[in-house]
Structure 1
Amino acid sequence: MTGDITDGESHATVRTDRPERYGKQLVSHLGRRNGGEWTPDTRSGWIDLAGGRATVTAGEGELHLHLVAESGELPRLEDVVGRHLVRFGERDGLTVAWVRGGQVPT
């Protein structure tokens, strides 16, 4: 990702018994194209996406997603990140609900 893209952001908290597994899988898969890295020690990672950046953090029983992008890119990036995670976690019934702006969902 190039430049300082800060005019739009979105957050999601995904409840799961396997947050680290899904975080690592998401970063590995989506990071192939533009870059990304998962750090096991911090249970977190980042993904550069065309038009923005996602950060992924595994908590206790939940996976935290944070997107920063140009406002016009947020719907597309929410769809890409959410759709992939839901597909990876289909068996576990994962769902992703995005909240725009600075408020972090609970």
Structure 2
Amino acid sequence: MPDTRAVVATAHASRYLQQLCKHWAHKFETEFTPTDGRIVLTVGEARLAADAETLTVALSAPDEEALAQLKDVVAVHIERFAFRETLRFDWT
């Protein structure tokens, strides 16, 4: 199962983590606290961790195509919540 991870610099990591989890809670299995989150989407799973300076996003999917789709969907949603700042997702 392919996976990838990005550490995104932001002082609003907890806010974005919680917004993303709440946003998808009506459609997907989610669980979260102010510092950790997990979302099980149809194309894969997202795990998030927030601290004072960074939001860590770890994704896993059944194949590379699904992983690419998941990266795009998660990044676009977080960027919408962070419209006041520019975030950088360097997937590794």
TM-score, scaled to structure 2: 0.90
CA RMSD of aligned residues (A): 1.2
How many angstroms apart in 2 are the aligned matches of 1:30 and 1:95?
A: 22
1:92 equivalent to 2:85? Answer yes
1:23 equivalent to 2:20? Answer no
Between Structure 1 and Structure 2, how many residues are aligned? 91
**Which structure 1 residue ranges, 4+ long, deviate > 4 Å from structure 2?**
none
Structure of larger gyration radius: 1
Query: What secondary structure, in the 3-state scheme, does the structure 2 residue paired with 1:55 have?
Result: strand
Displacement of 1:97 in angstroms is 2.5
Matches within 5 A, 1:75-86: 75-86=68-79
Amino acid at match of 1:17: A
Amino acid at match of 1:51: V
Displacement of 1:90 in angstroms is 1.5
Gaps in structure 2 of 5+ consecutive residues? none
How many angstroms apart in 2 are the aligned matches of 1:11 and 1:31?
A: 22
TM-score, scaled to structure 1: 0.79
Identity %: 34
